[in-house]
């Protein structure tokens, strides 16, 4: 088995060769056919998340150990299964749910392992998909994606799931209400792709890049776009909503500028959902959420149940695909640089 590994934070990834593991117990060995590159891979590679000011969270202190094979958006073919595996057999194609937990706590037992306090997420805490193979601890983390293309399906494991779970938290929204989405990167586009399956509300996507906003309009007609590079986001949304504000804002960027704007445009009884990991600090007058009955919350990835729901929607509905570009796995490092520059439209996917 060959794996492209992070051996030193911030240094070029390195190919290492290991003996291909033999699955034991409930483990399943998956041969990787596509692996999405996620913005959070960039944070792991660099070794930290920005908290605003000079403060950082170091991933090493959060339990990330090197060498590590990154990659948590994996589609592959089952190559071997441990003796206790049921439900899959060699040759089956599956999407890997990467947000694996301890397996025994109440969250893990109810298929919400993304909230486990002892995470073993693939590509974050254990080896992931920048590799010829990935070892999945249990077949329950494998999702059937029959009929979907590998390079389209893989990004539903993180970007798609994160967007879907955040959208669900914003629901219900009525047709005369407004949902603002901030940031038309991979997550934002995934949200735009499925948003009409969840609500008839008015949807406005904000970004500072016209090309990305163009992609939003072509993906789901009827979704409005707003370029905030030259305009004040809060006053423009207030104008667009006759001063009512946004009933829900999902901030896929969540840096100090976008979080401030998201809070500022929130309607009475509105909900602000913080998703992005771009980093920063938010200060606000504490009486405002109380007086306006507002909710500020976060959303991290999503549950196994939500991933299956999302894949069912994608299989059943004839939604327009989010743009995807594939690259050979060798190009992972240069790709991470382009992710950092924000140059990617849609999703970048590595193939062996």
Angle between helices 332-340 and 39-46 (to 10 degrees): 100
What residues make contact with Zn ion under the rule CB under 5 A?
38, 40, 101-102, 105, 108, 116, 158
Q: How far is the CB of 241 from Zn ion (least distance, A)?
A: 31
As a whole number of angstroms, the distance between CA 352 and CA 350 comes to 7
Q: How far is the CB of 185 from Zn ion (least distance, A)?
A: 11
Identity of the residue, 105 or 244, whose beta carbon is nearer to Zn ion in the bound complex: 105
As a whole number of angstroms, the distance between CA 71 and CA 74 comes to 7
φ, ψ dihedrals at 205, nearest 5°: -100, 130
Let me know: does 327 contact 224? Beta carbons within 8 Å. no
Residues in Cβ contact with 305 at an 8 Å cutoff, skipping those fewer than 6 apart:
111, 112
SS3 33: strand
Identity of the residue, 160 or 264, whose beta carbon is nearer to Zn ion in the bound complex: 160
Question: At which residue do the structure tokens 């999405």 appear?
Answer: 36
- Selection from 87, 69, 75, 63 nearest residue 21 by Cα: 69
Identity of the residue, 199 or 299, whose beta carbon is nearer to Zn ion in the bound complex: 299
- Where helices occur in 131-172 by DSSP H, the ranges are 150-153, 159-170
Identity of the residue, 116 or 265, whose beta carbon is nearer to Zn ion in the bound complex: 116
Q: How far is the CB of 105 from Zn ion (least distance, A)?
A: 3
Q: How far is the CB of 155 from Zn ion (least distance, A)?
A: 9
| Cβ neighbours, 10 Å, residue 110 | 12
Identity of the residue, 182 or 201, whose beta carbon is nearer to Zn ion in the bound complex: 182
Q: How far is the CB of 72 from Zn ion (least distance, A)?
A: 5
Q: How far is the CB of 278 from Zn ion (least distance, A)?
A: 14
Identity of the residue, 177 or 306, whose beta carbon is nearer to Zn ion in the bound complex: 306
Q: How far is the CB of 224 from Zn ion (least distance, A)?
A: 27
Interior angle at CA 155, CA 115 and CA 69, nearest 5: 75
Q: How far is the CB of 268 from Zn ion (least distance, A)?
A: 33
As a whole number of angstroms, the distance between CA 120 and CA 102 comes to 7
Q: Where are the beta strands (DSSP E) in 154-265?
A: 178-182, 202-207, 224-227, 246-251
| Cβ neighbours, 10 Å, residue 7 | 12
As a whole number of angstroms, the distance between CA 298 and CA 250 comes to 9
């Amino acid at each position: 088995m060959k794996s492209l590994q992070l051996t030193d934070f911030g240094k070029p990834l390195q190919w290492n060769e290991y003996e291909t593991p033999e699955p034991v117990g409930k483990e399943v060995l998956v041969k990787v056919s596509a692996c999405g590159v996620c913005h959070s891979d960039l944070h792991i590679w660099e070794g930290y998340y920005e908290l605003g000011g000079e403060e950082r969270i170091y991933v090493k202190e959060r339990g990330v150990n090197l060498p590590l094979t990154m990659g948590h958006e994996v589609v592959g073919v089952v190559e071997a299964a441990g003796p206790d595996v049921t439900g899959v057999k060699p040759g089956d194609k599956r999407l890997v749910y990467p947000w694996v937990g301890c397996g025994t706590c109440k969250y893990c037992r109810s298929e919400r392992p993304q909230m486990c306090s002892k995470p073993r997420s693939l590509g974050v805490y254990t080896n992931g998909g920048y590799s010829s193979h990935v070892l999945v601890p249990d077949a329950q983390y494998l999702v059937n994606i029959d009929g979907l293309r590998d390079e389209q399906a893989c990004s539903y494991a993180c970007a798609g799931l994160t967007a879907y779970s955040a959208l669900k938290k914003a629901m219900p929204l009525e047709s005369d209400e407004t949902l603002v989405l901030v940031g038309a990167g991979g997550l934002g586009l995934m949200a735009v792709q499925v948003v009409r399956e969840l609500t008839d509300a008015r949807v406005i996507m904000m970004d500072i890049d016209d090309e990305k906003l163009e992609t939003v309009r072509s993906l789901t007609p009827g979704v409005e776009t707003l370029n905030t590079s030259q305009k004040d986001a809060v006053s423009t949304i207030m104008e667009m909503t006759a001063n009512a504000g946004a009933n829900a804002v999902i901030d896929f960027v969540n840096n100090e500028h976008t979080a401030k704007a998201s809070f500022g445009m929130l309607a009475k009884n509105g909900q602000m959902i913080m998703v992005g990991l771009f980093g920063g600090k938010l200060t606000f007058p504490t009486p405002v959420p109380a007086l306006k009955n507002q909710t500020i919350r976060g959303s991290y990835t999503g549950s196994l149940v939500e991933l299956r729901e999302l894949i069912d929607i994608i299989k059943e509905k004839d939604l327009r695909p989010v743009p995807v570009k594939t690259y050979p796995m060798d190009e992972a490092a240069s790709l991470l640089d382009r992710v950092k520059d924000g140059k990617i439209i849609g999703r970048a996917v590595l193939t062996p």
